[in-house]
Structure formats: structure tokens, C-alpha cells
């Protein structure tokens, strides 16, 4: 997100199970554990934007797990109120809006100032890759930054035709930081980094090192 001028919340596509939209991992004294938000999926074609949480019991459960796992971390007390508010004092029922609230909080802590735009505000054309090209054109982008999994389906020639460069994110090579319960694990929530490194968290993100 920090590598882009504009980040599109693209939640008009189909919601998929066992993905990262409603779950993430944290590091505990007993190893990695999943924190999963229970959602209602009433039909296979259900869009992310229409997906609601099943109940609010997950909020207290997640916060208790986070408190138990990170209360001894160096910066938990400093950021506790921010995330406690998001977990325990929100009544939001739409998954996208819940994620958005957390994105804003995390960006503020890390110093990420990228503009966030909802895709449903852009009135996009049809077609899997065509919609992404249109998305770029609607926000005036000349470069599209994509995750590596999209290599299997993205029609890059459609971007080239519109003179839009396609760049691929590389998730390798991130430095290790001070982390509780060794050995070190990379694939965990950004909360792990924030609670352990606090104001210095941005130093461990490649985007800040590339663009000081």
C-alpha cells in the first residue's frame, strides 16, 4: 500500500473462503494461531462488499487472544487503546468496513498516507482484467501494482495497450525484528510488528527503505 499513490479497496468481487479477508495469524507462546472473523456466506456468488459478520462474539475472543499474546511486548501499552477501541467498541457488521477501520488505524501508526478509494465509487466496466484496467484509468494511474498470485490470470497486454505498467510485489527479503516466542515467523499480522517495534515499525517495511 505504501508503494502506491492510490489504494483501491476492490470488494465488488466474489467473497472466497479460507482467504485473508476475514482472518490472520498471530504469534503466541504456543505457536502460531489463526484469528478468524465468522461471516455469513449465503450464496457462492456473494460479493465481499455484501458480506456481514455472523455475530460479535469474535471481538472479545480476538482481543483476549491478542492481550494474552502481546501484553509483554514492548509497545502493547502504547497502542492498546487504539485496537481495544476497534475490537470492543465497534458495532460495524460489514466485513469490508471492519477491515477499512483497521487499515486506517494501522496506516496512521506506520505513517502511510496513501489515498484509499472504494471501487464501487468508480462505476467500472465488466471483465476480470478489463475492470482492473478501467480502475487504473479512473484514478489516473500509469502503473498497476499487483500481488504475484495474479500472474496466473492477469491479461497484461490490456494494460500495455493503455500504456499502464504492471509491477509485481515481491514478499521475500523482509528483515527480522524483535519478536516474542522464537523462532522468528514472518507470516503474521502487522499487529505483531507494531506491538514489538512501535514507532520504529516502518523501518522494517521495504517500501520506506525504497522511498525515504
Name the residue ranges covered by the structural domains of the chain.
17-113+179-210
Complete DSSP assignment for 156-203: HHHHHHTT-EEEE-----PPP---SSSSP-SSS-HHHHHHHHGGGGGG
pLDDT at residue 212 is higher than 60: no
Q: pTM of the predicted model, to two decimals?
A: 0.93
Average pLDDT over residues 44-70: 96
In 3D space, the residue among 92, 82, 75, 80 whose CA is nearest the CA of residue 199 turns out to be 75
β-strands 23-28, 31-36 pairing: antiparallel
CA 212 – CA 64 distance, rounded (Å): 36
pLDDT at 208: 86
The answer to whether the CB of 11 falls within 8 A of the CB of 47 is yes
Residue 127 pLDDT grade (very low, low, confident, very high; cuts 50, 70, 90): confident
Amino acid at each position: 500500500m505504501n508503494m502506491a499513490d492510490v489504494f483501491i479497496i476492490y470488494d465488488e468481487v466474489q467473497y472466497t473462503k479460507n482467504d485473508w479477508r476475514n482472518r490472520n495469524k498471530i504469534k503466541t507462546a504456543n505457536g502460531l494461531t489463526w484469528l478468524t472473523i465468522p461471516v455469513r456466506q449465503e450464496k457462492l456468488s456473494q460479493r465481499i462488499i455484501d458480506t456481514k459478520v455472523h455475530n460479535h462474539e469474535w471481538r472479545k475472543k480476538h482481543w483476549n487472544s491478542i492481550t494474552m499474546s502481546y501484553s509483554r511486548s514492548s509497545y502493547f501499552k502504547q497502542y492498546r487503546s487504539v485496537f481495544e477501541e476497534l475490537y470492543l467498541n465497534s458495532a460495524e457488521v460489514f466485513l469490508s468496513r471492519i477491515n477499512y477501520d483497521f487499515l486506517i488505524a494501522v496506516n496512521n501508526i506506520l505513517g502511510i498516507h496513501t489515498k484509499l478509494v472504494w471501487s464501487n465509487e468508480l462505476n467500472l466496466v465488466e471483465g476480470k482484467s478489463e475492470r482492473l484496467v478501467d480502475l487504473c484509468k479512473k484514478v489516473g494511474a500509469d502503473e498497476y501494482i499487483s500481488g504475484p498470485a495474479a500472474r496466473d490470470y492477469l491479461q497484461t497486454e490490456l494494460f500495455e495497450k493503455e500504456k499502464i505498467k504492471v509491477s509485481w510485489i515481491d514478499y521475500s527479503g523482509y528483515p527480522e525484528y524483535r519478536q516474542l516466542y522464537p523462532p522468528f515467523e514472518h507470516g503474521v499480522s502487522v499487529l505483531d510488528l507494531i506491538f514489538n517495534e512501535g514507532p520504529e515499525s516502518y523501518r522494517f517495511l521495504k517500501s520506506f527503505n525504497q522511498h525515504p
